Amino acid sequence: MEFGKKRKVAVVTGHSCDYVRLKSVLEEIEKHPALEYILVVVGSHLLERYGTTIRHIQADGFRVDKTIYTIIEGETPTTMAKSTGLSAIELATYFEDAKPDIVLILGEHFEVFSAALTAALMNIPVAHARGGEVTGTIDESLRHAITKLAHIHFPATEKSRERIIKMGEDSERVFLVGCPSVDSLLSVRKLGKQELFSHPELDPATKPSGQRPLDPSQPFLLLIQHPVTTEYGEAYAQIQETLAAVKELDVQTIMLWPNPDAGSELIVKGVRHFLLKNPMPKLYAYKRFPSEVFINLMRETDCFITNSSSGPSEACYFGTPVVNVGTRQNGRERGKNLVDAGYKKDEIVAAARRQLAHGKYEPEHLYGEPPVAKKMADILATVDLSNVQKKLAY
């Protein structure tokens, strides 16, 4: 690297989940004397129906260098494939202009795969966080494909590090740092339920007409259910079973809308159709929350019913009881705070009642310890970028 020249790290974020985890890395890159970031915001961040979460990024004080609309309407396997191709086309144009030294991505969403593929084809080194993990859905294939495209690896756990090396990656370029989300999980300002339920993002004005404000003196559930792409067509019935379970539990519930994977429209339709026939005054639906609000909801909830990766990989830091619904997180490393349930109402009810009766677990730090982001920034500033030629195995 030339003396005095900063490395340009293009950070690509496509939805709120990867942004929350990359937020601390952006902060460390911004502070690092040898680095500068280029922030590329794509995907659901830009769409109103997913909460226009670019506003959260801007509210956190980050400069957005490029916005790219990449989601093709429909949320089917076909449109997801087309969105992947559109992302690659648009990112290639931008990378050619911006000339980043490194492209940094996290996870395995289809926009992330597009960024990895595009950068690799353009001989730009790819740094990938949270590779080597095991789950269900098409994410499993995309994650490991990204690993073979990437040049620098930031796994969150020892098992993930071992898997990456077994896939033939150079052990000297696999850095066990943890997940950068733990920096935020353990440092965010704590909000008690009273303050949390008074937050502007939970303002009663955003709720359906006539719905009472959330009651901090009562228990509450946190609910997130994303589509399972390899079970496309089943999401409508799956979310209706979950809602039937929540209705039977009769506990106030904060629900977030799903991500834009294939099947998300079926979930939205399933929710709306269920509520037309089964009014649920204790169900409060929101699009997205800023990281401070979501982390505190995850900390304070009496039970987190979900198939999101935040269930196994983040709620363990608070000992929050989790019910993991269905197959989406099959194989993901998890703590004692998580119990599995199938898609049927009775299974979900039984698991949730067990977790509500248990209460908080002892926290487990399974995905690393702070400061993760600083370690990542130091590696990005010093790692050798001279050879982007990949091999089948090292």
User: How many CB atoms neighbour CB 219 within 10 A?
Assistant: 15
Q: Is the pLDDT of residue 207 over 60?
A: no
pTM of the entire predicted model = 0.93
**Of 54, 79, 73, the residue nearest 287 (C-alpha):** 54
CA angle, 172 then 175 then 177, to 5°: 165
In the chain, what percentage of residues exceed pLDDT 70?
97
Report the distance separating Cα 170 and Cα 191, nearest Å: 43
Tens of pLDDT along 34-74?
999 999 999 999 998 888 999 999 999 999 999 999 999 88
Residue with tokens 């995850």: 298
- Strand, helix or coil at 363? coil
Tens of pLDDT along 309-320?
999 999 999 999
Report the distance separating Cα 229 and Cα 77, nearest Å: 7
CATH of the domain spanning 7-184+370-382, picked from 1.20.1250.20, 3.30.428.10, 3.10.290.10, 3.40.50.2000: 3.40.50.2000
Predicted local distance difference test score (pLDDT) of residue 203: 73
In the chain, what percentage of residues exceed pLDDT 90?
86
Mean pLDDT on 215-234: 95
Q: Which range, of 25-39, 203-217, 261-275, averages the lowest pLDDT? A: 203-217
7-184+370-382 and 189-358 in the same fold: yes
What's the gap between Cα 57 and its chain centre? 14
Q: Is the pLDDT of residue 1 over 70?
A: no
User: How many CB atoms neighbour CB 152 within 10 A?
Assistant: 22
Predicted local distance difference test score (pLDDT) of residue 228: 94
pLDDT band at 353 (very low <50, low <70, confident <90, very high): very high
Q: Is the pLDDT of residue 29 over 90?
A: yes
Task: Show me where the domains of the chain are located.
Answer: 7-184+370-382, 189-358
Report the distance separating Cα 104 and Cα 126, nearest Å: 6
Tens of pLDDT along 149-204?
999 999 999 999 999 999 999 999 999 999 999 999 999 999 989 999 989 888 75
Instruction: Please count the CA atoms within 13 angstroms of the CA of 133 that sit on its side-chain side.
Output: 31
Mean pLDDT on 383-387: 93
Report the distance separating Cα 247 and Cα 176, nearest Å: 42
Mean pLDDT on 8-19: 94
Determine the CATH number of domain 189-358. Answer: 3.40.50.2000
pLDDT band at 137 (very low <50, low <70, confident <90, very high): confident
pLDDT band at 387 (very low <50, low <70, confident <90, very high): confident
